[in-house]
Each structure stands twice: as C-alpha cells, then as structure tokens.
Amino acid sequence: MLTTEKTIGEMVAEDFRVAAIFKKYKIDFCCNGNRSMEEACERKKVQIEEIYNAIENLPSKESGEIDFNSWPLDLLADYVEKTHHHYVEEKSVILMQFLDKLCKVHGDRHPELFEITKLFRESAQELGAHMKKEELILFPFIKKMVAAKRNNEELKTSSFGSVENPVAMMMHDHDIEGERFRKIASLTNDYQFPEDACGTYQVTYKMLEDFENDLHRHIHLENNILFPKAVILEKTF
C-alpha cells in the first residue's frame, strides 16, 4: 500500500483505517482524495515519513472489516443510498431542531451558533437535492451498466451523455459540502463545546461531529470507489 503512485483516496479505498490517520493531520481524503501523498503533506506542512510510519504501525486487519473496494458497483450504490443517504435524511431533521433551540437559548452568549445553524441548514437542503439526483439519475445508470455488462448486452445511451458528466457534477457538490463543514468545524472549535454548554448543546456538537464523519465516509465511497469505477466500466462498452 505504501507507494507514491497511489492517491490518498486510493489508499483509503484499500484500507479505511488509514482515514483516521489522515483525519488526525487534517488531510482531506474524500473531496480531495485525488492528490498524491506528497502534495497532501506539503499542503499541510506535515512530514510524509510521519504519515507512512503511522500507516505501517497500524495493527493487522480484522476479518470483520468491510472491503468496499471489492464490491460490485450496483451493490455499493444501494449501500450508499440505504445507509448514508438515509442517515443524512434522518439526522438533518433532528440536528436542525437542536440547532434552532441552541440559537434561542444560547445565541446571545454564543453568536457563532447562528452561523453554524445557517451553514448546516444550507448543507441539509443542498444534500437533499444532491442525493435525489444520485438516486434518480446517476445510480440507476450505474446499475444499468452493471446489468448490461453482466448480461453481455449493449449499453443504451443516456440523456446526459457520458457518466463522467453527472459524476463531475456530484463531485463538485461534494467539494462544496466539504468546504461548508470545514467552516462548521472551525466555528465549533472542532466540536469542542463551551464550558457553559447544557446537555442539548453537548449532544448537538457530538451529532454534528458524527454527521461530518459519516459525510466523509459517504463522499469517500463515491469519490474514491464508486465514481472512478463507473467511469472505467463505461469505457469497456
């Protein structure tokens, strides 16, 4: 795995445990996973040897870990939709309720809550529209490609042309959400709640952090595995 020829996204695709190391050094492996290790480390002013040492010292893989990189694309698309899309839909509603409550109760002492709430509301709305485009347009086409290849059939043309077109749009959306959550993380001091935080305040920050972590995994599965393989599959017809 330790080769300069692989992107950081490819390294995480091979072993998701590497994501925790990149996260520790604030290296974006999902939206910007197409960078080399050298480029990523240079940007963050991190010694590349330090990263490699941490990777080499990872314990042996457990047999129960999921190898998404080996999954067929139709199964992976279903997993992303049923797991990560459902998570966003469910948690967004709860988080908006909590954030609105925090603004009313604590907004006078912590005005940053208003900006955090604004950013999250934008994210929830944009992600909702983004996921529908995947569920109604991109994912069905990926499944059609898989079925056509499996049955040795000709691939019918789509209204959007190459699969690279919707993939590029989805990845652009991912970039926007990645930047939005970098702002939220900064405003929350990496989800460290203040000393006067009540129970709801603490739970909300923990949920926000969990939401970002799930979004990173969600985007990683698409940007670094599903989308590149879909582009490659299309070229085989």
Q: Residue 81: name the closest of 17, 133, 35 by CA.
A: 133
Q: What is the pLDDT of residue 57?
A: 87
SS3 content of the chain, % helix, strand, coil (to 5): 70, 0, 30
Instruction: Please tell me the least confidently modeled range out of 18-32, 158-172, 203-217.
Output: 18-32
Furthest CA-CA distance within the chain: 64
pLDDT at 1 over 50: no
Q: What is the pLDDT of residue 64?
A: 64
Cβ-contact 223, 29 below 8 angstroms: no
The rounded mean pLDDT for the chain is 93
Sign of torsion over alpha carbons 3, 9, 14, 15: positive
Q: Note the pLDDT tens digit of each residue in 89-122.
A: 999 999 999 999 999 999 999 999 999 999 999 9
State how far the Cα of 130 lies from the Cα of 26, in Å rounded to an integer. Answer: 25
Q: Note the pLDDT tens digit of each residue in 34-54.
A: 999 889 899 889 899 999 899
pLDDT at 66 over 60: yes
Q: What is the pLDDT of residue 153?
A: 95
Q: What percent of the chain shows pLDDT beyond 70?
A: 97
Q: Residue 55: name the closest of 105, 111, 8, 107 by CA.
A: 8
Q: What is the pLDDT of residue 60?
A: 73
